[in-house]
């Protein structure tokens, strides 16, 4: 691939066009990002860029107008600069000049510049640049994936003799003026990913994550769109920072009317100081464009699904013992639970917290990763052997980054506890953070976890992380350690996975506080929330799918009375909510009635029969003005089959809810419609069926345009509808 400078690049994939301006040695700038502009000629690409430039005295001095992907202060950009830092007060406003541009992937003419333009599809652009005065080099990577997802990252290298203090490195994508409404997420423990909207006005909408983990309140995906956008409509641009430590997302509108969406890692004071020759690489900043929130989400889903290591659709039905037994580990009871689970068709059995060290409650033992002889005198063998005899895979809970001060490891290595300022951080859940940035500590954890994985046939880890990183420094000086900790946990997971091929890992963090594409690059599902109440999960799952496809969302059926909210729900609502994710059970089955077990078995059978569709279909969320109703569905890629769910999450002020448009179907096909009734008596149907039993096949156009009316759906119940092309 020839290396060039001074070019424009037009990339197109799956309905998206990106034009990157690398002319005149400037840092790459996204001159256009949006809907497909078609097969433009080189002259047209040049004209599109020229039509967006601001002529005038600044441009006359050869200064590029519009921010670079890494915006630079010297260009008169008065928004947040891409790079902030200094060499003891100098080199704080670098001016980079690019020295090479290389484009690889689906590029026309093997990437040769024709009339100053490179044309391509899915491709990776690598730009190298330097500022010899500031003694810094940059390497910027921009990629447009086959599914039209944009992602970028930058590496800064200190080429000077003195150290360079890096304060901030963010990247920013410009969005057009019409994108004036923002949507991102808030949340807290047991109520993750609650949507919030506001207007984008002059100034900055800044979401900083300073928890040292992604956070239950993380912005997750920051959208800017034309006001009023919904799942189906309204043009949108969105960003996601793929990082599990401190991080930022922001939307900025300047007095000039220019607007960007940006993000990066949030560095603590003094956290990254680059010695001569050292470099720092930012996390990926993802960008998704689409019309409607579903299309934005689908680009993330398609990207994740395109990975070689992405799990297959036959996600095993899981039983996690946490809400069944908590810390009460009794071998007979846990074996009995395994037998009950196997009878129902469960395929994976996960032993949660409480199996190691002195961990009989949450006060002690965290960090001592050896099987507790008090509760497991013969090790985990009797349980694991029985689980495997029953035909199930075994999974085990760990919380590698955490430590109870009342533990053997803390007593032996108090210096491994993260702290700063000659004091311990405020305790949370009786625990502190163990410092993976210390090589000996990292090795201890790796070896302890490996020893368990080597001794037992374990196919799955639930990897938990139950507190924020507050005051997280490295003793004794207390230098900030969140960046190193985040890097180290990624390395540890990579190392364990490389040594144990096929090992699956779930990312859990007090429920759903570590859900991001940094962790998902190396794990196989996320635990959405500790709240398994289906009414809450209707909302949390609905919004978690804005980033995460259903097959990567842990979605369990709990006992009739929710342990977090105290609400009671019929099994049909609990199960009919859970089957749209990676299904599991978290319920003491010894407490379930025969009728419940029969119905539960039916749901598991349904899930197994339909998981290819449920976990590989295109997700559709329906815009519906009546907020007492949530409707969503999955449509097979060939659109011949679909399953929709209509959930009554409240009670409407009108007696009959309107027709629900079943988007995503094929307008050319006709569909047979049937209710999914696992246990007709328990299915939450009121006096009447949801729709007539003898409906004729209905044209797709009508189902999309006119919709289907669901009658008499009782509150906190869900109707599942199967559509099959005839
Ligand atoms: C966290 C997790 C739970 C469970 C407990 C165990 O809260 O989110 O699912 O594993 O820890 O202590």
Could you tell me if residue 132 is left (phi over 0), alpha (psi between -120 and 50 degrees) or otherwise beta? alpha
Ligand 1 center to 499 CA (angstroms): 26
Listed in order, strand segments (DSSP E) in 457-538 are: 460-463, 473-474, 479-480, 504-507, 525-527
In our burial notation (b when 16+ CB lie closer than 10 A, e otherwise), range 95-133 reads: ebebeebbbebbbeeebebeeebbbbbbbbbbbbbbbee
Token pair belonging to 505 = 């890992």
Query: Which atom of ligand 1 lies closest to the CA of 510?
Result: 8
N residues, the chain: 726
Ligand 1 center to 464 CA (angstroms): 7
Tell me how far apart the alpha carbons of residues 383 and 389 are, in angstroms, rounded to a whole number: 10
Q: Is 398 in the pocket of ligand 1 (CB under 6 A)?
A: no
Token pair belonging to 78 = 């008065």
pLDDT digits (tens, 9 = 90+) for 687-716: 568 998 889 999 999 999 999 999 889 999
Token pair belonging to 138 = 């940059």
Task: Say which residues have a Cβ less than 8 Å from residue 706's Cβ, sequence separation at least 6.
Answer: 659, 661
Out of 510, 527, 529, mutate this one to test ligand 1's pocket (max ligand atoms within 8 Å of CB): namely 510
Q: Is 353 in the pocket of ligand 1 (CB under 6 A)?
A: yes
Q: Averaged over 386-411, what is the pLDDT?
A: 98
Determine the pLDDT at residue 446: 98
Residue nearest to atom 7 of ligand 1 (CA): 510
For the chain, the average pLDDT equals 96
Determine the pLDDT at residue 443: 98
Token pair belonging to 357 = 């060290």
Q: Is 507 in the pocket of ligand 1 (CB under 6 A)?
A: no
Dihedral (CA of 382, 383, 388, 390) sign: positive
Q: 398: which strand partners? A: 463
Q: What is the greatest pairwise CA distance in the chain?
A: 81
Tell me: pLDDT of 620 over 90: yes
Token pair belonging to 192 = 């993750």
Determine the pLDDT at residue 683: 62
Task: Say which residues have a Cβ less than 8 Å from residue 177's Cβ, sequence separation at least 6.
Answer: 257, 259
Q: 223: which strand partners? A: 183, 238
Tell me: pLDDT of 2 over 60: no
Residue nearest to atom 5 of ligand 1 (CA): 353
Please give the share of the chain, as a percent, with pLDDT higher than 90.
94
Tell me: pLDDT of 231 over 70: yes
Q: Averaged over 33-46, what is the pLDDT?
A: 97
| CB of 511 closer than 8 Å to CB of 527 | yes
Ligand 1 center to 109 CA (angstroms): 54
Q: Is 172 in the pocket of ligand 1 (CB under 6 A)?
A: no
Q: Pairing mode, if any, of strands 97-107 and 117-131?
A: antiparallel
pLDDT digits (tens, 9 = 90+) for 519-578: 999 999 999 999 999 999 999 999 999 999 999 999 999 999 999 999 999 999 999 999
| CB of 534 closer than 8 Å to CB of 577 | yes
Is residue 1 very low, low, confident or very high in pLDDT (cuts 50, 70, 90)? low
CA–CA distance from 695 to each of 226, 547, 692, 723 (Å)?
A: 39, 36, 6, 12
Residue nearest to atom 11 of ligand 1 (CA): 510
Q: What angle do CA 500, 504, 508 make, to 5 degrees?
A: 125
pLDDT digits (tens, 9 = 90+) for 591-612: 999 999 999 999 999 999 999 9
Determine the pLDDT at residue 176: 98
Token pair belonging to 542 = 């609905």
Determine the pLDDT at residue 686: 63
Specify the residue for token string 């759903």. 512
Tell me how far apart the alpha carbons of residues 366 and 357 are, in angstroms, rounded to a whole number: 7
Ligand 1 center to 447 CA (angstroms): 23
| CB of 376 closer than 8 Å to CB of 329 | yes
Q: What domains are there in the chain, each with its CATH number? A: 7-305 (2.70.98.60), 318-401+437-466+486-612 (3.20.20.70), 619-725 (2.60.40.1180)
Q: Would you give the end-to-end CA distance of the chain in angstroms?
A: 50
Out of 190, 324, 351, 352, mutate this one to test ligand 1's pocket (max ligand atoms within 8 Å of CB): namely 352
Ligand 1 center to 190 CA (angstroms): 11
Tell me how far apart the alpha carbons of residues 87 and 163 are, in angstroms, rounded to a whole number: 6
Q: Is 490 in the pocket of ligand 1 (CB under 6 A)?
A: no
Token pair belonging to 147 = 């599914």
Ligand 1 center to 511 CA (angstroms): 7
pLDDT: which is higher, 686 or 134: 134
Q: Is 506 in the pocket of ligand 1 (CB under 6 A)?
A: no
Query: Which atom of ligand 1 lies closest to the CA of 397?
Result: 10
Q: Is 508 in the pocket of ligand 1 (CB under 6 A)?
A: yes
HEC per residue, 571-606:
HHHHHHHHCCCEEEEECCHHHCCHHHHHHHHHHHHH
Q: Is 511 in the pocket of ligand 1 (CB under 6 A)?
A: yes
Residue among 268, 300, 257, 18 nearest 144 (CA): 18
Token pair belonging to 336 = 């009995």
In our burial notation (b when 16+ CB lie closer than 10 A, e otherwise), range 134-150 reads: bbbbbbbbbbbbebbbb
DSSP letter for each residue of 621-648: E---S-TTEEEEEEE-TTSSEEEEEEEE
Integer-rounded Cα radius of gyration of the chain: 27
Ligand 1 center to 192 CA (angstroms): 15
Tell me how far apart the alpha carbons of residues 284 and 171 are, in angstroms, rounded to a whole number: 9
Q: Is 352 in the pocket of ligand 1 (CB under 6 A)?
A: yes
| CB of 460 closer than 8 Å to CB of 397 | no
Is residue 65 very low, low, confident or very high in pLDDT (cuts 50, 70, 90)? confident
Please give the share of the chain, as a percent, with pLDDT higher than 70.
98
CB atoms within 10 A of CB 357: 21
CB atoms within 10 A of CB 180: 16
pLDDT digits (tens, 9 = 90+) for 406-465: 999 999 999 999 999 989 999 999 999 999 999 999 999 999 999 999 999 999 999 999
SS3 324: helix
Is residue 657 very low, low, confident or very high in pLDDT (cuts 50, 70, 90)? confident
Determine the pLDDT at residue 152: 98
Residue 30 CB-density burial (10 A; 0-12 exposed, 13-18 middle, 19+ buried) = buried
pLDDT digits (tens, 9 = 90+) for 338-376: 999 999 999 999 999 999 999 999 999 999 999 999 999
DSSP letter for each residue of 49-80: HHHT---SHHHHTTPPPS--SS--GGGT--S-
Ligand 1 center to 121 CA (angstroms): 44
Residue nearest to atom 1 of ligand 1 (CA): 510
Task: Say which residues have a Cβ less than 8 Å from residue 593's Cβ, sequence separation at least 6.
Answer: none
Determine the pLDDT at residue 476: 87
Token pair belonging to 703 = 């189902």
Q: Which of 48-62, 458-472, 479-493 has the lowest mean pLDDT?
A: 48-62
Listed in order, strand segments (DSSP E) in 268-399 are: 272-274, 279-281, 285-291, 318-320, 348-351, 393-398
Ligand 1 center to 382 CA (angstroms): 24
Residue among 648, 658, 631 nearest 713 (CA): 648
Tell me: pLDDT of 470 over 90: yes
Which helix H or strand E contains 633, and what residues bound it?
Answer: strand 629-635
Catalytic residues: 464, 530
Listed in order, strand segments (DSSP E) in 303-358 are: 318-320, 348-351
């Amino acid at each position: 691939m020839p290396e060039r400078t001074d070019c424009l690049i037009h990339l197109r994939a799956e309905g998206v066009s990106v034009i990157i301006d690398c002319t005149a040695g400037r840092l790459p700038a996204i001159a256009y990002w949006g809907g497909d502009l078609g097969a433009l000629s080189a002259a047209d690409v040049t004209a599109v860029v020229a039509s967006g430039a601001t002529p005038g005295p600044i441009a006359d001095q050869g200064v590029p107008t519009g921010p670079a992907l890494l915006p630079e202060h010297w260009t008169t950009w008065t928004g947040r600069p891409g790079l902030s830092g200094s060499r003891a007060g100098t080199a704080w406003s670098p001016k980079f000049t690019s020295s090479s541009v290389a484009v690889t992937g689906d590029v026309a003419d093997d990437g040769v510049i024709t009339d100053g333009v490179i044309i391509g599809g899915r491709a990776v652009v690598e730009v190298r640049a330097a500022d010899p005065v500031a003694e810094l080099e940059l390497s910027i990577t921009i990629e447009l994936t086959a599914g039209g997802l944009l992602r970028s990252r930058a590496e800064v290298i200190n080429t000077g003799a003195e150290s360079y203090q890096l304060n901030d490195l963010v990247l920013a994508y410009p969005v057009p003026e019409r994108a004036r409404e923002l949507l991102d997420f808030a949340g807290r423990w047991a109520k993750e990913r609650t949507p919030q909207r506001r207007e984008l006005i002059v100034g900055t909408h800044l979401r900083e994550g300073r928890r040292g983990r992604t956070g239950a309140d993380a912005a997750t995906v920051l959208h800017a769109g034309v006001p009023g956008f919904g799942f189906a409509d309204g043009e949108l641009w969105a960003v996601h920072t793929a990082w599990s430590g401190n991080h930022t997302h922001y939307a900025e509108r300047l007095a000039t009317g220019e607007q960007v969406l940006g993000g990066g890692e949030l560095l603590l004071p003094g956290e990254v100081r680059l010695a001569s020759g050292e470099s720092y690489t930012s996390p990926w900043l993802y960008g998704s464009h689409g019309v409607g929130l579903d299309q934005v989400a689908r680009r993330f889903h398609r990207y994740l699904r395109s990975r070689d290591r992405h799990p297959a659709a036959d996600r095993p039905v899981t039983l996690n013992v946490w809400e069944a037994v908590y810390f009460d580990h009794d071998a007979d009871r846990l074996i009995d639970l395994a037998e009950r689970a196997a009878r129902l068709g469960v395929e994976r059995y996960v032993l949660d917290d409480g199996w190691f060290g002195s961990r009989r409650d949450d006060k002690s033992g965290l960090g001592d990763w050896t099987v507790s002889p008090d509760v497991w005198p013969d090790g985990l063998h009797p349980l694991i052997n029985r689980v495997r005899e029953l035909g199930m895979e075994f999974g085990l809970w760990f919380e590698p980054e955490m430590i109870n001060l009342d533990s053997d490891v803390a007593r032996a290595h108090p210096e491994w506890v993260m702290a700063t300022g000659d004091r311990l951080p405020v305790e949370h859940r009786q625990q502190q953070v163990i410092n993976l940035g210390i090589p000996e500590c990292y090795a201890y954890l790796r070896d302890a976890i490996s020893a368990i994985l080597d001794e037992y046939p374990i196919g799955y880890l639930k990897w938990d992380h139950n507190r924020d990183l507050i005051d997280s420094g490295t003793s004794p000086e207390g230098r900030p350690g969140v960046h190193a900790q985040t890097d180290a946990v990624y390395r540890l997971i990579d190392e364990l996975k490389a040594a144990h091929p096929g090992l699956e890992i779930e990312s859990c963090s007090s429920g759903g506080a570590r859900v991001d594409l940094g962790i998902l690059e190396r794990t196989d599902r996320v635990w959405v929330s500790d709240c398994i109440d289906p009414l809450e999960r209707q909302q949390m799952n609905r919004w978690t799918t804005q980033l995460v496809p259903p097959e990567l969302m842990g979605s369990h059926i709990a006992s009739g009375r929710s342990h977090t909210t105290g609400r009671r729900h019929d099994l049909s609502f609990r199960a009919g909510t859970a089957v749209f994710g990676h299904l599991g059970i978290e319920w003491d089955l010894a407490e379930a009635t025969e009728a419940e077990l029969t119905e539960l078995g039916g749901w598991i059978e349904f899930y197994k029969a339909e998981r290819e569709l449920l976990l590989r279909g295109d997700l559709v969320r329906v815009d519906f003005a009546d907020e007492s109703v949530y409707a969503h569905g999955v449509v097979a890629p060939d659109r011949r089959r679909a399953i929709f769910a209509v959930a009554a999450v409240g009670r409407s002020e009108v007696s009959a809810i309107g027709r629900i448009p079943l988007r995503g179907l094929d307008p050319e096909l006709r569909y047979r419609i049937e209710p999914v009734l696992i246990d007709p008596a328990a299915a939450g149907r009121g006096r009447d069926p949801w729709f007539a039993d003898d409906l004729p096949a209905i044209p797709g156009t009508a189902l999309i345009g006119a919709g289907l009316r669901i009658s008499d759906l009782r509150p906190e119940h869900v109707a599942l509808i199967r559509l099959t092309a005839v």
